[in-house]
Amino acid sequence: MTDVTIRKTEHLHGEVAAPPSKSYTQRMVIAAALSDGTSTITNPLYSEDTQAALQAVIALGAGFKAGNGCWQITGTYPLQVSKVPIDCGESGATLRFMIPVVALADGPSTLLFRGSIERRPVEPLLQSLHRLGVETNVGKVCGLDTVFVKGGGIIGGKTSIAGNISSQFISGLMLACPMAKKNVEIALTSPLESADYVKMTTAVLSKHAIALSAEDRHIVVPAGQTYKAANSRVPGDFSSAAFLLAAAAITNSKITITNLDHESVQGDKVILTILKNMGVAGKICPDSVEIHGRRTPLKPVDVDATNIPDLVPVIAALACYAEGNSHISGAKRLRLKESDRLASIYAALTKMGAQITVTQDGLTIQGTSLHGAVIDPHNDHRIAMATAIAALGAKGETIVTDCECIRKSYPQFLTHLKQLGVDVVGGKLDR
């Protein structure tokens, strides 16, 4: 267990590169593993979640070679049957992507999940796959939640699934169904939330010569397609960079975050608009973003988080430093993340003196001064990082316990804070 102490910091300065996108890396790894030939992924993210995706495809027979800032993945199809259970770690995305993918193998697969399937549900995905001819069930192995997939291929046909629980369900189906025996039609029974993540999946599929159509709430995936090897570069991650951008806003600092492409298909780039609405000045360049903090309090904002759930923790931290009430809505799904994020945000920030009301689908936050405290992030990487950012303007020092959970998405977070001038003690986590 690693505890980190963060002291109030008046001013940050410098330049760091945003970490590569976790979401893109996971999708590119799986698409490469299904491809005919060898694909090169440049600038991949090294994190616990991306390692889980990588180990999963290796277990299914994909070849792998790392070197000089890139991964080379040689595809394997038909997929081999893993002789041992495939460990998805605590990565809900890896689990949800791999359930449909392992159905393509000739025999049964067992997927282990080190989180809670009750918190990161998969049942809607299993029901949707059942309509496509895939047999699955959920159980336990050595105390871990487990999904058993019979394998033998995806027959195809028509299925349906909710669009407002997790976009990862839809992305998982899109990754596997091009290799179904018959065309697949997916009807969404509710509006799609986090739609930009599905667009991201579509972009990765297109790079590998996979075609599909998605209009309104209806997706059609033609069967019998062949993934082609492709060379791709992982763009910088706006959801992770948001914490650094918020740090500059809170501390009246000027910093530059490189490796950010404003043209990439990432919904979380809206953090730039949110900061602007809060009165933060900045400059968007072709491959970087400059942020200038402000001496006066931030302006309050009203944010609909339906399509940007990962930004809610950092928006909440920013809102504590606004003059007035900020409102975050459309965040009900955050109760099904690594922690109940609405409850975790409330617990962490109110312990630091924040005035927060938890609403039916979000938060209302009244700006006020914060003070240091000892914070338990509940093994949630985004809560740990949001608390660390909130601590920069808080009186005294803040201790974030069990901070190693940031390895899940942003292992270099503390290193980057130190490079920008934050007084951080402990947390030798970067690798």
Residue boundaries of the structural domains of the chain: 4-19+236-425, 22-233
The rounded distance, in Å, linking the Cα atoms of 73 and 218 is 32
Low-confidence ranges of the chain (pLDDT < 70): 1, 427-431
Q: On the CB side of 210, how many CA atoms lie within 13 Å of its CA?
A: 29
Q: On the CB side of 386, how many CA atoms lie within 13 Å of its CA?
A: 30
Residue 158's CB: how many other CB atoms inside 10 A? 12
Distance of CA 318 to CAs 114, 246, 271, Å?
31, 7, 11
DSSP 102: H
Q: What's residue 296's pLDDT? A: 81
Q: What's residue 118's pLDDT? A: 74
Indicate the SS3 state at residue 128: helix
Q: What's residue 430's pLDDT? A: 45
The rounded distance, in Å, linking the Cα atoms of 259 and 69 is 14
Q: What's residue 127's pLDDT? A: 98
pTM of the model: 0.94
Q: How many residues does the chain have?
A: 431
Q: Does domain 22-233 have CATH number 3.40.50.920?
A: no
Taking a C-beta distance cutoff of 8 angstroms, is the pair 95, 113 a contact? yes
Spot the catalytic one: 49, 310, 376, 380. 310
Q: What's residue 431's pLDDT? A: 40
Q: What's residue 333's pLDDT? A: 84
Same fold, 4-19+236-425 and 22-233: yes
Taking a C-beta distance cutoff of 8 angstroms, is the pair 135, 99 a contact? no
Which residues are CB-neighbours of 370 under 8 A, at least 6 positions away? 320, 321, 349, 352, 353, 354, 390, 391, 393, 394, 395
Q: What's residue 116's pLDDT? A: 73
The rounded distance, in Å, linking the Cα atoms of 39 and 20 is 18
The verdict on whether 430 is a catalytic residue reads: no
Q: What's residue 428's pLDDT? A: 61
The rounded distance, in Å, linking the Cα atoms of 201 and 219 is 13
Q: What's residue 429's pLDDT? A: 46
Q: What's residue 10's pLDDT? A: 87
Q: Which CATH number fits domain 4-19+236-425: 3.40.120.10, 3.40.50.170, 3.65.10.10, 3.40.50.620?
A: 3.65.10.10
Nearest one of 391, 390, 384 to 413, comparing CA atoms: 384
Q: What's residue 29's pLDDT? A: 98
The rounded distance, in Å, linking the Cα atoms of 431 and 105 is 34
Q: Tell me the residue type at 176.
A: A
